[in-house]
């Protein structure tokens, strides 16, 4: 990467084209209707982010498999049927008006079984049948197909933060004695290969993965890097490095930013696949150092863009003060996607 590369340098790599290297990391806003479709408020939130100057937006996780009642009781997006395409197209269309790339994050929180009382309960990784694993794989493939139909430029497979795929990759939870235990990454690779067969050649397929689980017996940094190298060889288009201890408090610009950076820096020494780093970015100077000194390809933000959707435009205009975000995490309280300082 050229030394003069900065956060506003365009990125032009296979299936990763954006006007700058700022990514809005997937964030759960809990602003859908009861059917898991985006509300007008959610569409307006994403339009404001697109106006604000980011190069790529990863839309907050959409469930690709539903259990029990069809209603979305937790107000997450759904992408599990053809009926989800039209509502999401309205969201994708408004973002792309501003020359911003848009990916949909896809996920399954838990695979659920019916218990003796007829209620759905989470099923441990070790107890899932081969047929149920196929259901999970095919649901992600169909979700990617629906996303492309809705006009998205790509999808991001969510394999972090303790969700189903994250637990598949964690030795704390996956003790299977079959090929999905011998090679826990196989479930993700089969998703990737299946998606590539169904979507157009320019459709981007990314993954979000923990740099480590930060819990005893969980995925280690060494394990993460091993998996990411495998994914690079398997053809993944980009990798976003995150971790279970996300959204840390007490971030001070220039002091303790980029708290997941070690794994990303070591990974970029080994692969050419674009690496996106999330976690605690607050100042242009520190962000540019990551790009220039460590070959990181892009940087993703969440809380700073909740606090200031127009932050990239502010920085590009010459006002390079750090983000005003104080990492208080009060934006986790449902607030229509707004920073508490504006309420």
Report the chain's C-alpha Rg in angstroms: 19
Residue 228 pLDDT exceeds 80: yes
pLDDT digit string (tens) for 125-146? 999 999 999 999 999 999 999 9
pLDDT at residue 74, rounded to an integer: 54
For the whole model, what pTM was predicted?
0.95
Tally Cβ neighbours within 10 Å of residue 14. Answer: 12
Please name the residue ranges forming H helices in the chain.
40-51, 85-96, 130-149, 164-168, 179-182, 186-198, 221-234, 261-268, 284-294, 303-307, 311-316
- At the top level of CATH, the class of 11-342 is alpha beta
Residue 201 pLDDT exceeds 70: yes
pLDDT at residue 30, rounded to an integer: 85
Strands 120-122 and 298-301: unpaired
Residue 70 pLDDT exceeds 60: no
pLDDT at residue 296, rounded to an integer: 97
pLDDT at residue 341, rounded to an integer: 74
pLDDT digit string (tens) for 153-163? 999 999 999 99
Is residue 160 within 8 A of residue 208, CB to CB? The reply is yes
Instruction: Calculate mean pLDDT across residues 24-42.
Output: 92
Instruction: Calculate mean pLDDT across residues 206-212.
Output: 98
Instruction: Calculate mean pLDDT across residues 78-100.
Output: 97
pLDDT at residue 173, rounded to an integer: 98
pLDDT at residue 68, rounded to an integer: 64
How is the chain split into domains, by residue range?
A: 11-342
- Using CA atoms, how far apart are residues 99 and 53, in angstroms rounded to an integer? 9
pLDDT digit string (tens) for 258-313? 999 999 999 999 999 999 999 999 999 999 999 999 999 999 999 999 999 999 99
């Amino acid at each position: 990467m050229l030394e003069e590369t900065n956060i506003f340098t365009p990125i032009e790599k296979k299936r990763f084209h954006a006007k700058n290297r700022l990514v809005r990391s997937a964030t759960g806003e809990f602003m859908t209707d009861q059917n898991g479709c985006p509300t007008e408020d959610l569409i307006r939130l994403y339009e404001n982010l697109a106006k604000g100057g980011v190069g790529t937006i990863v839309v907050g996780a959409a469930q690709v498999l539903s259990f029990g009642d069809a209603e979305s009781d937790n107000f997450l997006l759904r992408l599990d049927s053809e009926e989800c395409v039209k509502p999401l197209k309205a969201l994708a269309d408004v973002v792309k008006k501003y020359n911003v790339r848009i990916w949909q994050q896809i996920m399954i929180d838990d695979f659920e079984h019916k218990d003796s009382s007829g209620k759905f309960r989470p099923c441990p990784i070790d107890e899932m049948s081969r047929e149920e694993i196929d259901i999970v794989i095919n649901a992600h493939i169909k979700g990617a197909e629906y996303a492309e139909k809705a006009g998205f430029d790509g999808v991001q497979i969510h394999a972090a933060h303790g969700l189903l795929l994250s637990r598949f990759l964690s030795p704390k939870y996956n003790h299977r004695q079959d090929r999905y235990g011998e090679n826990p990454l196989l479930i993700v690779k089969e998703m990737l290969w299946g998606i590539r067969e169904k979507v157009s050649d320019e459709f981007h397929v990314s993954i979000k993965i923990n740099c480590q689980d930060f819990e005893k017996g969980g995925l280690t940094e060494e394990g993460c890097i091993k998996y990411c190298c495998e994914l690079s060889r398997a053809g993944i288009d980009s990798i976003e490095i995150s971790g279970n201890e996300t959204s840390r408090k007490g971030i001070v610009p220039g002091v303790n930013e980029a708290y997941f950076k070690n794994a990303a820096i070591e990974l970029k020494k080994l692969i050419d696949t674009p690496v996106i780093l999330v976690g605690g970015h607050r100042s242009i100077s520190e962000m540019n150092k990551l790009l220039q000194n460590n070959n990181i390809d892009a940087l993703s933000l969440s809380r700073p863009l909740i606090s200031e959707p127009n932050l990239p435009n502010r920085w590009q205009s010459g006002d390079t003060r750090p983000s005003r975000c104080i990492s208080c995490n009060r934006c986790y309280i449902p607030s229509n996607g707004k920073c508490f300082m504006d309420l």
